[in-house]
Structure 1
Amino acid sequence: MHKIATYLDQDHRRCDDQYSMAESDVILRNWEAASDHFGTFLSMFYRHLDKEERILFPRLDHALGNGYGPTVVMRAEHRQMRAMLLEMKIAIDRHDCEAFFGQGDMLRILMRQHSLKEEGILYPQADFVLAKQADAVVASMENIDHAEEAGAWSAA
């Protein structure tokens, strides 16, 4: 069974769908909706990165016996994506369609390559190496979602 891969693949799809809404708003120059949808996307995407960096990667590194495996590359790419996303948020705030898509085009390439590595190599490897822990790993990742939701309610 591929519990970790399925869970994170579905998370990728949800993030992609939310990003598409923000991108459509930018095309239409509906800046208020773009800001809202992009903000939601950022929250979802950063939570996804937290699931990987705080839960999956440390367990995978431990199981593989080192901290220099495939997760090093994934973390570096996460840093690149965060920097691009910040530029895209600034572009929305400035109502700059050209700057948004300039970064967005590069981001799409990076994210596509990144997702292929995760979905084709890293997640299946995690399902294999962490098979006995898969339920606990997924539960821990879901707890990040619930903690985020609880924080949103308490902040309201």
Structure 2
Amino acid sequence: MVLFRLSLIVKAFYMDGSILGAWADLSNSFSHVVGVRDGEHAVKEKKDDGKVIWTLEACKKDARKYLTRNQWRIGSPSAYVTANKRKWAGECCAHMKAKPTVWTADLCKLDALKYQTRTQWQKASPSAYQAARRNGLVADCCAHMPSDMRCSNVKMKLDVLLE
């Protein structure tokens, strides 16, 4: 079985008479313009209502500015959402390095050193905390933390009230 992708070449003119080639993707809808080709580079196009239409090439170009998917998601949300909806994210993020997902005992201990309480660590870095919990390392990782912060806070408050 052979699938064909239908495209329609449309010529558009600038006010000064120069030609701007645009193409429309007919596989989704007849009226949806996917992008504008300006010379050799595809760029994002603004429709009359101010909405931006992202092309695959424009999403790739935009994604190259970032090192991680999360940076791209925060820095350019419209391009990120478009790439995910159109299933281009894998292609756009091919240059990005994945974060390490294996939490070793040493990495868990290093991560825990950043925090003063277990609760802070659990909220700020849940994946490290869960890995430590799964591997029985929480006590080792939290050795530098005060043992009973809640009780000491309550005692401090009582001491202040009694004075």
Short-chain TM bin: under 0.3
Greater helix percent: which structure? 1
* Higher fraction of strand: 2
Normalised by the length of structure 2, the TM-score is 0.22
Give the number of the structure whose alpha-carbon radius of gyration is greater: 2
Structure of greater relative contact order (alpha carbons < 8 Å, 6+ residues apart):
1
